[in-house]
Amino acid sequence: MRTITLCFFLALMSTVAIAQKAPERCPDTTSNKAVIVEELKKIDRELDAAFERGDVSFFQRLLVEEMINVAPEGTLSKKTEFLKDVTPPKSGTTLMITEKDVQVFIACDTGIVTSNKTAKWQRSNGSSSDDYRETNTYVHKDGRWFLLASQTSRLPTPPPYSAKDVNLSLAVDETRIDGNRNASVVLIEFADYECPHCREFASNTMKEVQRDYIANGRIGFVFRDFPIESNHPHAFTAALAGLCAAEQGHLWEMNHQLLAESSALTPATLFHNAESLKLDMPKFRGCLADEKTATRLRQSMREATQLGIDGTPMFIVGIRKPGSNTVKGLRMIEGGFPYEVFKATLDMLIATQD
């Protein structure tokens, strides 16, 4: 369903007005405006529902004979042609149309409804979706609203995300670098074990980064704890468990377990993980309860905040000289973006070091 440009709309309205024998009196748009707005919104939603189920009879009742449809490419079609596109979904396929940013404009016996919509098709072999802006023009006659014109336009595609330029200095412990400890390029992640976005990143994008850059020694990887206690009550203790496992040389094994853990990160879960890694349990318990461990973690969090870290997951990509305990951060990725964002950022920095 689709709109028309202003000039075309005015010309069309003139034609319709001439065709009508006696113009209908305008609805009282002062006292009844709110009622009319809700009525038009309801009709617009019903229109989408009818399109979802392929209800031709609904459109036949709603469309005036002069109805004009404008496709995103600018192609014009009339009522008869438009109705041919209203068909029930094929077997095994469902269509759902959702709307947002709905606005309604009323001028006498004309109502215009604009909104951003998403049409999502669910099929047995997967799903697909289409985002678009739709403007529907309705005309009021014989006590009812009819669809006079519709236009769909494509929403502008947002530019691809690219890492932000930064100039930061970060201290690193070489013994806690995963991958190539002598690599010139280092990826540093700031994460929260209870953060769902961190878990999702670990189970998807991070596996690709691990395969293509860490496992083959192209980069070094550092994990920095940034538990957000206000939202995640178990995150701080889980971070302590990671630090205590690192004290016994099992940082990455504990790290992977904590990020994969689907249940609450309770003390019982943390102790179970430690036992499964065959850690020295008295030493692990003592480290977990030691205030010095918590103090060290809070100091690390303060340093991260000073670097501009304010959420999770966030990443800094930088360069480091072999043997140095300092990484010069040059790029910041503010979120768990798709693999392509990390690939572009890492490849660019790797190329500068070759």
Buried b (16+ CB within 10 A) or exposed e, 58-86: bbeebbbeebbbbeeeeeebebeebbeeb
The beta strands (E) that lie in the chain are given as 63-70, 76-78, 94-107, 110-123, 126-141, 144-154, 164-171, 178-179, 185-191, 220-225, 314-319, 326-333
Q: What is the pLDDT of residues 68-88, one digit of tens each?
A: 999 888 889 999 999 998 999
Residue corresponding to tokens 């909104």 = 115
Query: Are the CB atoms for 191 and 225 separated by under 8 Å?
Result: yes
Q: Can you give the pLDDT at residue 263?
A: 63
Q: Which of 179, 29, 177 is nearest to 106 (CA)?
A: 29
Q: How far apart are CA 335 and CA 312, in angstroms?
A: 7
Strand partners, 189: 223, 315
Q: Which of 51, 87, 85 is nearest to 69 (CA)?
A: 85
Whether the predicted pLDDT of 107 surpasses 70: yes
Query: Are the CB atoms for 214 and 221 separated by under 8 Å?
Result: yes
Query: Are the CB atoms for 203 and 241 separated by under 8 Å?
Result: no
Whether the predicted pLDDT of 11 surpasses 70: no
Whether the predicted pLDDT of 7 surpasses 80: no
Mean pLDDT of 308-331: 95
For each of the domains in the chain, give its residue range(s) and CATH number, in order of start. Answer: 6-154 (3.10.450.50), 164-353 (3.40.30.10)
Q: Can you give the pLDDT at residue 2?
A: 41
Whether the predicted pLDDT of 18 surpasses 80: no
